[in-house]
Amino acid sequence: MTLKAKLLALSAILAALLAFFAGTYYAGYLKGWYAHSDKVNSEYQKKGVKAAKTVARDEQKAAVASDEGKVIYRTVYRDVVKYVQDPNHTNCKFDTRAVQLRQRSLDAANSISGFDAGAVQGSE
């Protein structure tokens, strides 16, 4: 066997080894990539389930608070209508009863739990 043939055979073996090692490295890289992708996807699904539970709980609180607000609103609205339809209130001066109705409506708005809105400010 000549030197040229030996070098050619050696270079073929080295090329095969290089291809083998490159293939092994690439397979390991893909395995790690897919493992990371699976981990991220499972974490995302867990967060989605947790977020859905939180949204459902908050929607339930909002529905209860809305129902409470409707009852309070009807009560205050009824009193305001009575006050406005009273024939003794033909002028636009705010007497003690008008101020009390306003304060009751502010207190009612601030007492409804379950909403993130801040308290309603009165002019004092």
pLDDT mean values, one per 10 residues, the chain (124 residues): 90 96 95 94 92 88 76 72 69 71 76 57 52
DSSP string, 11-58: HHHHHHHHHHHHHHHHHHHHHHHHHHHHHHHHHHHHHHHHHHHHHHHH
Residue 124 pLDDT: 46
Q: For residue 9, is it within any domain?
A: yes
Domain that holds residue 39: 3-111
Residue 121 pLDDT: 57
Q: For residue 120, is it within any domain?
A: no
Give dist(CA 54, CA 31) in Å, integer. Answer: 35
Q: For residue 80, is it within any domain?
A: yes
- Structural domains counted in the chain: 1
Q: For residue 122, is it within any domain?
A: no
Q: For residue 73, is it within any domain?
A: yes
Residue 115 pLDDT: 53
Q: For residue 118, is it within any domain?
A: no
Q: For residue 123, is it within any domain?
A: no
Residue 76 pLDDT: 73
Residue 116 pLDDT: 53
Q: For residue 49, is it within any domain?
A: yes
